[in-house]
Amino acid sequence: MANKTKFKCAEIAVSLPFDRVFHYDIMKNTKRDIEIGKRVWVEFGKKDKIGYVVGFVKEAEVKNVKPVKSVIDREPIVSKKMLELCNWIKETYLCSYGQAIDATIPGVLRRGKVSVRQRKIFIPAELPPTEPSEKHDLTEEQNEALRNVLHKIETENYRAFLLHGITSSGKTEVYLQAIERVLAHGKGSIVLVPEIALTPQTVERFVSRFGNKVAVMHSALAGSVRYREWERIRQGEAKIVVGARSAIFSPVKNLGLIVVDEEHETSYKQEDAPRYHARDVAMMRARLSNCPVILGSATPSLESYYLAKKNKIELVRLTKRIYDMDLPKVKIVDMRMELATRKKIVMFSRILIDAIERVLNKNQQIIIFLNRRGFSTHVSCKKCGLVVKCKKCDSVLVHHYATKKLVCHYCNFRIPPPDICPQCKNAYMKYFGVGTEKVESELARLFPRARIGRMDTDSMSKRGSHEFMLGEFKKHKIDILVGTQMIAKGLDFPRVTLVGVVNADVTMNLPDFRAGERTFNLLTQVSGRAGRGEEGGEVIVQTYAPEHRAILCASKHDYEKFYEEEIKTRKELSFPPFTHLIKLTLRSRSESKASSASQDLKKFLEQRLKGVHILGSAPSPIAKVRGFFRWNVMLCGKNRSLMCLGLKKALKSYRKPRGMIFTIDVDPISM
């Protein structure tokens, strides 16, 4: 700050949900060190609090401002460009400046533990052991894709690319070679993956190609390790960052490329303030950094594909699998027929059982997918019809066999399964539905000699259990791997020649306009796990709704057709990508308070917002979580920034009822 001497006062952002900055005087003791992007201690209320310096003003707008107590950092921890990004985040997602800045720095710095100063040596965090991954000569399609991106890298221009490549078409190899070129220019890259633990093979490929130039930003890293990695990035020692959504804020120097792998994944959306979408932040960061961003997927989000169709982003396709391997054949099994002929509900169709038998005899491997954990999905009384639910949430309790408990999947509340109905006191409690645990036990009964492993959040809670299970599967110490969506992504096991989907309808019946899209994505991803080796592969999908577009199109590997039909529906119903939604949620321990407050909010906004359609108020699909009733008001409009501006203005005079929790979610990914 060359002439900050003119300024008497600093603008400070704090990590509280206030839509404003606060003024503090710059006295003698802080004058020399204070700088934009540094942390300071200030008195806030009656307590000391950390604040971020975001600007200077000549004169405070009020009298008797307190002084900045002390400056924590020797050098800024948030760059000017990052502050620009934070500013965009606060305007787009309607959070405070401080909350946005919080998201960009490691936890230890938020808590004021360390002071950031220059040039300390940081030893890289231990990286997973890897086998060297060989660099391939690119296919013609890959080369074409790479050339497009490189052009923008060389000319230092922003451009967003949508790399739509079927599973195993070589997308990752394109990222790797693009990053290599960026590195040759002395620049850095950020690679976002949906979840580090779920994509170990992808992460491994980056590490084995670029060694300790890579920083893997893992949510399981201890706070101090995370900070160390952040410092290695900030000081330019680690030039490539691979990580989940928050890695988009890594302080990479001289950014040359951003990659968002599996860009359609919902885990890119942050569920607490700031409720950002990492894909959208990536596009904004690339724009501010004058560099390209690649969004990659076999099943692009409707939002991104729509942008590509309108030429707002550039579509690049990879249409062939490497070595021209065929996509696996997908067979749909109509379970209604199975029910009619066998006169009972069965878990596995004859066709799937025969196929498993055949593949086991050939000594190959199998993946069995069901997107529902637990044993039975619910317990209910045959006499009075009561379904056992969580007391604190509205959700149905799921039976878990291993722990002999009924478990709430929202708050983890557990009770022993009742023998007697809590309502009518009769002993007719019955178990319904199927989860992965039951699938595993049924497979063990049908194929006693097969070695079976299970991967879901129940079996994988211990650290390192993913790696272990996948390692066992890779070494072929396991024949059949059963799992939830945890096994749908990114796994590359050439000996898997059969993928079985126990019930494709699980995600389809969720009360959400994206349910069809989710189902299509999941089926396509999980199908892509089959036939990655020379033996080819097949996929068997069991469903009670074989005519559903998500299932039909996924079975034909026809993204284009799915998109065309789905986008028509979205248009008819005015849903994204044709509109933007903003979800306003009110939570209370009292249902009537939550409901009436949300009705009041709706009326309040109706009088103040123009050009915005207001839906609701209505209870959330899971109306009660952890004892709080949740009611939503949904805003729907064409122009996001106008909607946000209007809402912000209106809310200035809104007083939420006491004891109520109020949250705003812009572009929510669930209803």
For the CB of residue 300, give the shortest distance to ligand ADP in the complex, in Å: 13
Interface region with ligand ADP, contact rule CB under 6 A, candidates 160-168, 192-200, 341-349, 434-442: 160-168
Residue 73 contacts which entry, Zn ion, ligand ADP, none (Cβ below 5-8 A, type-dependent): none
- Per rule CB under 6 A, is residue 322 in the interface with ligand ADP? yes
- Per rule CB under 6 A, is residue 171 in the interface with ligand ADP? yes
Nearer to ligand ADP, 172 or 598 (CB): 172
| Residue in 15, 30, 148, 172 binding ligand ADP, rule: CB under 6 A | 172
Cis amide linkage into residue 274, ω under 30° from 0:
yes
Residue 165 contacts which entry, ligand ADP, Zn ion, none (Cβ below 5-8 A, type-dependent): ligand ADP
DSSP 286: H
For the CB of residue 585, give the shortest distance to Zn ion in the complex, in Å: 17
Is 622:410 a contact under the CB 8 Å cutoff?
Answer: yes
Q: Which two tokens stand for residue 502?
A: 């126990």
CA dist 205 and 191 (Å) reads 12
DSSP 569-600: HHHHHT-TTSSEEEEEEEEESSHHHHHHHHHH
Residue 172 contacts which entry, Zn ion, ligand ADP, none (Cβ below 5-8 A, type-dependent): ligand ADP
For the CB of residue 578, give the shortest distance to Zn ion in the complex, in Å: 35
Return the H-helix or E-strand segment holding 632.
strand 628-637
Site for ligand ADP in 380-439 (CB under 6 A): none
Residue 410 contacts which entry, ligand ADP, Zn ion, none (Cβ below 5-8 A, type-dependent): Zn ion
Site for ligand ADP in 479-508 (CB under 6 A): 492
- Per rule CB under 6 A, is residue 142 in the interface with ligand ADP? yes
Q: Which of 48, 44, 110 is nearest to 73 (CA)?
A: 110
- For 71, residues 6+ apart whose C-beta sits below 8 A from its C-beta are 30, 33, 34, 35, 38, 39, 40
- SS3 of residue 220 by DSSP: coil
Nearer to ligand ADP, 322 or 351 (CB): 322
Residue 60 contacts which entry, Zn ion, ligand ADP, none (Cβ below 5-8 A, type-dependent): none
Site for Zn ion in 378-417 (CB under 5 A): 390, 392-393, 408, 410-411, 413
Nearer to ligand ADP, 15 or 167 (CB): 167
Q: Which of 604, 612, 616, 668 is nearest to 645 (CA)?
A: 612
For the CB of residue 262, give the shortest distance to ligand ADP in the complex, in Å: 9
Amino acid at site 219: S
DSSP 341-362: HHSS--SS-HHHHHHHHHHHHT
Nearer to Zn ion, 388 or 601 (CB): 388
Q: What interhelical angle do 80-93 and 640-651 show, nearest 10?
A: 80
- Per rule CB under 6 A, is residue 250 in the interface with ligand ADP? no
- Per rule CB under 6 A, is residue 169 in the interface with ligand ADP? yes
CA dist 553 and 549 (Å) reads 6
| Residue in 98, 165, 243, 292 binding ligand ADP, rule: CB under 6 A | 165
For the CB of residue 170, give the shortest distance to ligand ADP in the complex, in Å: 4
State the Cα torsion 255-256-261-264 to the nearest 10°. 80
Residues near ligand ADP (CB under 6 A):
136-139, 142, 165, 167-173, 322, 492
